[in-house]
Structure 1
Amino acid sequence: MTSADLVVDAFGRIAEEVRAAVDGFSVDELAYRVDEDANSIAWLVWHLTRIQDDHIAGVSGLDQVWLADGWARRFDLPFPDADHGYGHTIEQVAAVRVDADLLAGYHAAVHRQSTEWAAGITDADLERIVDRAWDPPVTLGVRVVSVLSDCLQHVGQAAFVRGILLR
């Protein structure tokens, strides 16, 4: 297995869990929060997809799917188009009310772009510095692991909320 294969597989596992988290749920179920300070499945899936889209576009030189493919217009959220949810208030979390097909469709498009790009990375690519704002500077490998970690944590949280709703 190559580094590229490993990254593609990891993104594939996230995609499987995203589909499972939203499958068959209504807008109201996707917007359910276990308490007023908690995140909903809809917000979690939207956010993890925005982070993957934003960060992979940032290191790959590709356009964000959110902007380039019109997903921002389709979602019609009350946020700036560049928003990806970091630091959202409880009111902003509650504003993410969308259906499962929209969430799954956007994630599938981001997954496709991410894995097409990741399939071509090499071990040498992973050493490339992509962000000098940190000390030490962030390599491509570190950024990819960060994205994977964030997405896996959030999709796990979405699965947890789904489990509560199915009880």
Structure 2
Amino acid sequence: MTAAQELLTDAARRAPETARLVLDGLSHTAAHEPPGGIQNPVAWLIWHAARQQDVQVSQLAGTEQVWDQGDWAERTGVNRSSGDMGFGDSAEQATSFLAENPQELGGYLEATVQRTVAYIQTLDDESLAEVIDSSWDPPVTRGVRLVSTIDDAAQHLGQAAYARSLVEPGWKAPY
């Protein structure tokens, strides 16, 4: 494994651990409570962290989304299509988000990360340096897109931990 693959793999594998900490003992009510009545709830944040990575990595790899392969809409109880990943959701859409089984969101994130890691293992330095979107300045490479999806997941999971601390006063992440 190359150094780049090792770093990307390590970074990607951190997301499910954070999600497990946030979801552990989380009530259904708290999972869906928007902090301050207007902020993104924990369930939406975890779902979005997984969805954005799933959609973007499946596009890079030319594969079907994990969301569809694992029947995750039914398993999580989320009534959103495979074309929906939450980008552009209004505050109302995010605060009304419902996952019938929010604990399964962690499983979906884990499955998405496993597929991401498997994809990373197929890439060499040349593949990571390939420009995949020249509409940006500077153009976006495959490696940069992977970093972006991993970073987006990390940020949303940090937000989920913070959101949980707001809706369950006294809860603190064990890190």
TM-score, normalising length from structure 2?
Answer: 0.87
What do the CA deviations read for 1:24-56 (whole angstroms, capped 9, x no partner)? 112111112211220011000000100010111
Q: Which residue of 1 aligns with 2:58?
A: 57
Q: How does 1:17-28 map to 2 (within 5 A)?
A: 17-28=18-29
1:71–1:78: structure 2 CA closer, same or farther, 3 Å change rule?
closer
Q: How far apart, CA to CA, are the structure 1 residues paired with 2:151 and 2:4?
A: 16
RMSD: 1.7
Q: Hey, what's the Cα distance between the residues in 1 that align with 2:158 and 2:103?
A: 19
Q: Is the 8 A contact 2:129 2:142 kept in 1?
A: yes
Share of identical aligned residues, percent?
Answer: 34
Secondary structure of 2:132's counterpart equals strand
Aligned to 2:43: 42
TM-superposed CA distance for 1:77, in Å, is 3.4
Counterpart of 1:84 in structure 2 is: 85
Secondary structure (helix, strand or coil) at the match of 1:160 reads helix
Structure-2 separation of matches of 1:157 and 1:19:
14
Partner Cα distance (2:148, 2:124) in 1: 18
User: Is residue 30 of structure 2 the alignment partner of residue 29 of structure 1?
Assistant: yes
- Name the TM-score, length of structure 1 as normaliser: 0.90
* Matched residue count: 167
Unpaired runs of at least 5, structure 1:
none
Match for residue 157 of structure 1 among 136, 150, 159: 159
Per the alignment, residue 173 of structure 2 pairs with none
1:123: which partner in 2? 125
Give the 3-state SS of the residue equivalent to 1:29 in structure 2. Answer: helix
* Equivalent residue, structure 2, for 1:10: 11
Amino acid of the residue matched to residue 103 of structure 1?
L
Structure 2 residues not aligned, in runs of 5+: 171-175
Report the more deviating stretch, 45-54 or 22-31.
22-31
Task: State the 1:16 CA deviation.
Answer: 0.8
Query: For 2:76 and 2:18, how far apart are their aligned partners in 1?
Result: 21
